Amino acid sequence: MSERQTMDVDIVCVGFGPATGGFLTTLLVAQPSGCDLTPPQILCYERADDIGFGVSGVVTRARSIRASFPDLNPAEIPMAAEVRDEKVLYLLDPIGASRRSLALRAADKLIRAFRFALPVDNHALELPFTPGFLHKQGGLVLSIGQFNQWVGQQLMASGVAQIWPGTPVASALIEDDRVAGVRLADQGVDRQGHPEPGYLPGMDIRAALTVVGDGPFGAVGRQLNQHFGMPEGNTQREWAIGMKMVVDLPEGCELEAGTVLHTFGYPEPEIFGFLYVHPDRVASVGIFVPSWMDSPVRTAWRYLQHYIQHPYLWRYLKGAALRSWGAKSLQESGRRGEPRLVGNGYARIGEGSGSTNVLTGSGVDEAWATGAQLGEAVLELLKAGKPFTRENLEATYVRRRRASWIEREGRVAERARDGFHHGVVTGLIGMGLAGLTGGRLWAPGEHVPHYERIPSVLEYYKSKIPAREIARIREECAAKGLSLHDALMERAGWPAIEYDGRLLVTQQDALLMGGKVQAPAGYADHVVFLYPSLCESCGTQICVEICSGQAIAPGPAGVPVFDREKCVHCGACLWNCSQPLAEDPERTNIDLRAGAGGLHSGEN
């Protein structure tokens, strides 16, 4: 059997997203200024099969990105455009199927009654202005896939770091409470991880500094959270699944590049949505389904189909064609979900380090900024010849971060979303209060774990579908190996989707179009049901409903089955699972390990 190999480097990075981009670019920019240092040897491992396969089409103020590239010309970055026109829209329900509270129904009636005097157009109320804290004027519409490639090419051409895509990091090497590097995932194993012919144990990469920029739900970040514990009072209980499509807009569509539409109110009041226009009549359109949406069948895929058909958006999207599609979770605890940022031999950057701003809904610029701050800190320590100890990283990286706009704005946003735990209207008031008062006022609400909030399917549909019928639907779906949401939603009033084979396509077709899903052989399953007995007694099986790629299906004896070939690595099953672990109620019965493959699309 092969021996596990070991390699020594100066710095090893986990993940190549905007955070690591900011880190490495800062080191690159410092190079010509010629610190008389021997450049550190840096390796960066990315689990996706290319560095441009990260999912998110974004609008960003790009403050820290522009600071790193003072002469940035958006025309040089594929799919980038300057933000031009920005609108916030409240979408009314044109169908009557969404679950609206009495207060919201009353508000909707008023809006419809006074539509002659209000800016109401195609069942949407345009807010008279975009609140200052939300607006992105002066910013950029980007495709993160294209942006990452643009950044990565410069880094690799410069030799500042070697970036290895298609290489999942299995875990951090923790020795005596010090992180000594990382272990790459084993290859040549069966689905359970047992060696097979051709077994190649993942290499150990030992490094003086391990930079963890593995995003909102990375396995290494979560390992560190478990091993070192979270700072007192901090939890990561707030999440959202973001799902989006990249589309070719129909000919004659009048939307200009740089147009930014933010929406809320439809298909369910809790679902925020967006449409961003790139150059050449290409747009990103998507939704966020948050953890505080109390539905046991919260299916982002099905809701996205209804979202794009809202009359306000459909007049632009009718006739459009799907180019690619993808999904990824967002860590929405923000500053309150901040883990221990540094320790001996390691530092955390980006969304997994709590940098995402939950008031403004932005994470790219913030992630980049934390990476850039760590880059400056590393240069300072290298010049001073000081080691990467917890104290030295605190005094350089954490000090910079605390003194920066990341900390100030993160604090303003900290309680902005608490009100959503009492409903959408309270939540929106809370966001407005926090945004307009610089975080001094907010609507209170307790961050209850999602599994304490999710009602049963019977409870959720009790006013719409008789229990007997739910039992029948359940039986029929189980027999066909299907999730429940399509049948239940249609019975509750949502119209069936009329597929057109271009934009309105089945979930299976979406897996094959544009963002084709691939799963290289020889790796273990990365989605693991930890205690099958918990699944057997789990009434909700929300993992089946939420799964972005239909990779989790009802299984025999009540334990779902996982199909690696369909998994888009969105992370939603990890935090949506409705069963907490007895030994750690902050974790669920699903473990999401480092895995290879996923979506193959460079433009998400």
Ligand X SMILES: Cc1cc2nc3c(=O)[nH]c(=O)nc-3n(C[C@H](O)[C@H](O)[C@H](O)COP(=O)(O)OP(=O)(O)OC[C@H]3O[C@@H](n4cnc5c(N)ncnc54)[C@H](O)[C@@H]3O)c2cc1C
Tell me the C-alpha distance between 148 and 18, whole Å: 7
Tell me the C-alpha distance between 475 and 402, whole Å: 54
Output 260 or 510, the one with its CB closest to ligand SF4: 510
579 binds, among ligand SF4, ligand X, none (CB under 5 to 8 A by kind): ligand SF4
Establish if 543 lies at the interface with ligand SF4 (CB under 6 A): yes
Tell me the C-alpha distance between 96 and 99, whole Å: 8
202 binds, among ligand SF4, ligand X, none (CB under 5 to 8 A by kind): none
Output 494 or 562, the one with its CB closest to ligand SF4: 562
Establish if 222 lies at the interface with ligand SF4 (CB under 6 A): no
473 binds, among ligand X, ligand SF4, none (CB under 5 to 8 A by kind): none
Among 287, 341, 489, 567, binds ligand SF4 (CB under 6 A): 567
59 binds, among ligand X, ligand SF4, none (CB under 5 to 8 A by kind): ligand X
Smallest distance from ligand SF4 to CB 580, Å: 9
From 41-49, 290-298, 363-371, 549-557, span contacting ligand SF4 (CB under 6 A): 549-557
282 binds, among ligand SF4, ligand X, none (CB under 5 to 8 A by kind): none
Residue 158's Cβ-side half-sphere holds a number of Cα atoms within 13 Å equal to 20
Residue 436's Cβ-side half-sphere holds a number of Cα atoms within 13 Å equal to 9
534 binds, among ligand SF4, ligand X, none (CB under 5 to 8 A by kind): ligand SF4
Tell me the C-alpha distance between 312 and 335, whole Å: 34
Tell me the C-alpha distance between 110 and 117, whole Å: 11
Within a 10 A sphere around the Cβ of 31, how many other Cβ atoms?
14
Tell me the C-alpha distance between 303 and 546, whole Å: 11
> Is residue 570 within a helix (H) or strand (E), and if so which, with residue range?
none
Output 413 or 477, the one with its CB closest to ligand SF4: 477
Query: Is the distance from CB of 554 to CB of 485 less than 8 angstroms?
Result: no
Local structure of residue 398 (DSSP, 8 states): I
Residues that bind ligand SF4 (rule: CB under 6 A) add up to a total of 27
Specify which residues 244 forms β-bridges with.
286, 326
364 binds, among ligand X, ligand SF4, none (CB under 5 to 8 A by kind): ligand X
Output 77 or 488, the one with its CB closest to ligand X: 77
Smallest distance from ligand SF4 to CB 332, Å: 17
* Binding letters toward ligand SF4, positions 176-195, x by CB under 6 A: --------------------
Tell me the C-alpha distance between 495 and 502, whole Å: 19
Q: Which tokens in the block code for residue 248? A: 């070719």
Spell out the residues 6+ positions from residue 126 whose beta carbon is closer than 8 angstroms to its own: 87, 88, 89, 119, 120
Smallest distance from ligand SF4 to CB 588, Å: 6
From 115-123, 167-175, 246-254, 546-554, span contacting ligand SF4 (CB under 6 A): 546-554
* Binding letters toward ligand SF4, positions 478-517, x by CB under 6 A: ----------------------------------------
Tell me the C-alpha distance between 501 and 498, whole Å: 9
Output 63 or 422, the one with its CB closest to ligand X: 63
Tell me the C-alpha distance between 604 and 581, whole Å: 34
Place of tokens 């990283």: 393
52 binds, among ligand SF4, ligand X, none (CB under 5 to 8 A by kind): none
Spell out the residues 6+ positions from residue 262 whose beta carbon is closer than 8 angstroms to its own: 86, 87, 88, 89, 130, 134, 272, 273, 274, 361
In 346-473, beta strands by DSSP E: 346-348
Establish if 570 lies at the interface with ligand SF4 (CB under 6 A): yes
Specify which residues 196 forms β-bridges with.
none
Tell me the C-alpha distance between 486 and 501, whole Å: 18
Of 267, 276, 360, residue with least CA distance to 84: 276
Local structure of residue 38 (DSSP, 8 states): P
From 18-26, 254-262, 472-480, 531-539, span contacting ligand SF4 (CB under 6 A): 531-539
Among 375, 515, 571, 602, binds ligand SF4 (CB under 6 A): 571
Smallest distance from ligand SF4 to CB 540, Å: 6
Output 108 or 238, the one with its CB closest to ligand X: 238
Tell me the C-alpha distance between 215 and 328, whole Å: 10
Smallest distance from ligand SF4 to CB 334, Å: 22
Tell me the C-alpha distance between 155 and 139, whole Å: 23
Which residue minimizes CB distance to ligand SF4?
Answer: 538
377 binds, among ligand X, ligand SF4, none (CB under 5 to 8 A by kind): none
Output 114 or 531, the one with its CB closest to ligand SF4: 531
Place of tokens 């875990």: 171
* Binding letters toward ligand SF4, positions 573-602, x by CB under 6 A: x---xxx---------xx------------
Establish if 553 lies at the interface with ligand SF4 (CB under 6 A): no
From 162-170, 291-299, 360-368, 532-540, span contacting ligand SF4 (CB under 6 A): 532-540
Output 267-272 pairs: Cβ under 8 A, ≥24 positions apart: 267/93, 267/97, 267/98, 267/303, 267/306, 267/307, 267/310, 268/98, 268/99, 268/293, 268/295, 268/303, 269/98, 269/99, 269/100, 269/101, 269/104, 269/424, 270/420, 270/424, 271/303, 271/307, 272/361
Tell me the C-alpha distance between 483 and 592, whole Å: 21
Site for ligand X, rule CB under 6 A? 14-19, 45-48, 54-56, 58-60, 144, 168-169, 213-216, 218-220, 242, 244, 286, 328, 330, 350-351, 356, 362-365, 367, 594
45 binds, among ligand SF4, ligand X, none (CB under 5 to 8 A by kind): ligand X
Residue 268's Cβ-side half-sphere holds a number of Cα atoms within 13 Å equal to 22
Output 343 or 598, the one with its CB closest to ligand X: 598
Within a 10 A sphere around the Cβ of 409, how many other Cβ atoms?
21
Under DSSP, is residue 586 helix (H, G, I), strand (E, B) or coil?
strand
97 binds, among ligand X, ligand SF4, none (CB under 5 to 8 A by kind): none
Q: Can you give the binding site for ligand SF4, defined by CB under 6 A?
A: 527, 529, 534-535, 538, 541-543, 546-549, 551-552, 560, 567-573, 577-579, 589-590
